[in-house]
Amino acid sequence: MSGNTIILIRHGETTFNKDGIIQGNTDHPILTEEGRKQMLRVGIWLKELDIDYIYASHLNRTKESAEIVANQCGVSLSRLKIDERLEEINFGCWHGLQRKEIISNFSNIYRLWRTRPYDFELEERFPVKELYDKISSFLNEEILHSDKKGIKVIVAHKGSISAIVNTLLKLPKSHHHILQLDNGSVTVIQERNTIETSCDYELCFTNEVPTFCDAPLIDFKTEERTKSYGELFLVRHGQTDSNLERKYQGSMDIPLSELGIKNMNLLAKSFTPNIPTRIICSPLSRAIQSAEIIANSNRIKSVSVRNDLHEFLYGIWEGMTEDEVSRYRHAEYNQWQTVPQKANIPQSEHLNNAYNRCNNIWEDYQKDLYSWGGSIISVAHDIVNRLIICNALDLPANYIWSFKQTNASVSVLAIKNVYDGRLRMLNHSGNSIKFRLSDEYL
């Protein structure tokens, strides 16, 4: 692991969270007993990491959350930095009101806040713009231009965490609300190893709520969950021997390794509270095997194969290791890593064609779930899942490296008409966080 790893923790549940009251940057709410337990679980989950610093906003709910995490991780309070720039959005006259009151009394302004947050104006201020200005200042000073690379933990708020992610990934400001971020959840963003001199970041996983069972369960029954027509679970197949050797597989029909089967059995347990109504998979055997493991574990009778879910076709790269490609086909590899939509790999599928293929898949899934509801598990591949996520979030193909997809992982998309919480979870798995942040995690 090289470069910066930024671990973003949303503070534990507060009295205001529990009652559905807007708290913003006020300091009245306090952590509930459940909120303290959430932070205890997070601290235990992170304790095997070598943390450089913990940052927290100055508000009591984040300071207390950060202190609990620091204590569990053995981080001295001298390495706990309080920074006012990490505070939550200033909601002014909305503070202390319940959401239903705001929707009733400020319907047009509230709609603007949910659909065009950067244009949201309240009391002659632009609260989201103010937030992003503060976050940009913090990132430039503490993260982007810091000489010391390592693991930095930031304990903050839903708004400030969203702003950090959007800023580092260079997402449009309209996407401020795309992440579901529950109380006590962990989101991780890492610096990518790229050929470019500029800093590039990749979202490793989001909205992970630590538990103490073997396979943390996917559970969205919280007050933060926004209504949707259903959910799409994007699963990347389990590991193959070629994955372990870091070979480009593409259309090569390679089965799961023993470790791949083991990890898929672990992931299959995650679906217990959200039994899917149907499973659809790629025609390649590594995806079919993975889908059948999930189906058998959750008593789902059948698996449907969809031919266009096949992996990106890598042409002459197929069967080559990443090291071989970077050494012998350097120009192509450089393009693929930095401007993938312009890469010309001989005999390969062009990324823009793959993007359009995945757009058709996404639109079909949406129509299905709008009509029938429930949920779909789609078992496919790295690039295909990345491109489906880009389509779901209305992002062009050049954003594929922003959303990590590892073997035996699941990402969850909500089917809805707005961006609000559309990415419920990214790249969830049952492995330890130390392994998930290592270079061995493929």
The answer to the question of residue 366 being in a domain is: yes
- Give me the pLDDT at residue 437, please: 84
At 323, list the tokens. Answer: 């090291």
pTM of the model: 0.94
Q: How far apart are CA 71 and CA 300, in angstroms?
A: 43
111 is in an annotated binding site: no
Q: How far apart are CA 72 and CA 210, in angstroms?
A: 14
Burial of 159 (0-12, 13-18, 19+ CB in 10 A): buried
15 is in an annotated binding site: yes
Would you say 400 and 340 are in contact if contact means Cβ atoms under 8 Å apart? yes
- 316 and 407 belong to one structural domain: yes
- 425 and 367 belong to one structural domain: yes
16 is in an annotated binding site: yes
11 is in an annotated binding site: yes
Which of 162, 177, 208 is the endpoint of a domain?
208
The answer to the question of residue 218 being in a domain is: no
- 204 and 242 belong to one structural domain: no
- 277 and 375 belong to one structural domain: yes
The answer to the question of residue 290 being in a domain is: yes
- 174 and 278 belong to one structural domain: no
- 303 and 425 belong to one structural domain: yes
115 is in an annotated binding site: no
Considering the candidates 64, 67, 87, 88, report the single residue annotated as catalytic: 88
The answer to the question of residue 363 being in a domain is: yes
- 202 and 276 belong to one structural domain: no
- 285 and 185 belong to one structural domain: no
Residue type for position 282: S
- Give me the pLDDT at residue 153, please: 98
Distances (CA, A) of 195 to 335, 424, 440: 10, 31, 20
The answer to the question of residue 220 being in a domain is: no
Active site residue 363: no
Active site residue 177: no
- 106 and 201 belong to one structural domain: yes
The answer to the question of residue 238 being in a domain is: yes
* Number of domains making up the chain: 2
- Give me the pLDDT at residue 214, please: 59
- Give me the pLDDT at residue 275, please: 62
Q: Can you give the residue range of the structural domain that contains 418?
A: 230-437
- 50 and 130 belong to one structural domain: yes
Q: Measure the CA angle with vertex 399, ends 222 and 441; round to 5°.
A: 70
Within a 10 A sphere around the Cβ of 100, how many other Cβ atoms?
A: 9
14 is in an annotated binding site: yes
12 is in an annotated binding site: yes
The answer to the question of residue 109 being in a domain is: yes
CA proximity to 9, closest of 215, 156, 221: 156
The CATH number linked to 263 is 3.40.50.1240
- 203 and 239 belong to one structural domain: no
CA proximity to 191, closest of 149, 136, 138: 149
- Give me the pLDDT at residue 207, please: 95
Spell out the per-residue pLDDT of the chain, length 442, in tens.
Answer: 568 999 999 999 999 999 999 999 999 999 999 999 999 999 999 999 999 999 999 999 999 999 999 999 999 999 999 999 999 999 999 999 998 999 999 999 999 999 999 999 999 999 999 999 999 999 999 998 877 789 999 999 999 999 999 999 999 999 999 999 999 999 999 998 655 444 589 999 999 998 766 556 666 554 444 567 889 999 999 999 999 999 999 999 999 999 999 999 999 988 865 666 799 999 999 999 999 999 998 888 889 999 999 999 999 999 999 999 999 999 999 999 999 999 999 999 999 999 999 999 999 999 999 998 889 999 999 999 999 999 999 999 999 999 999 999 999 999 987 778 899 999 998 888 888 887 776 6
The answer to the question of residue 222 being in a domain is: no
- 40 and 107 belong to one structural domain: yes
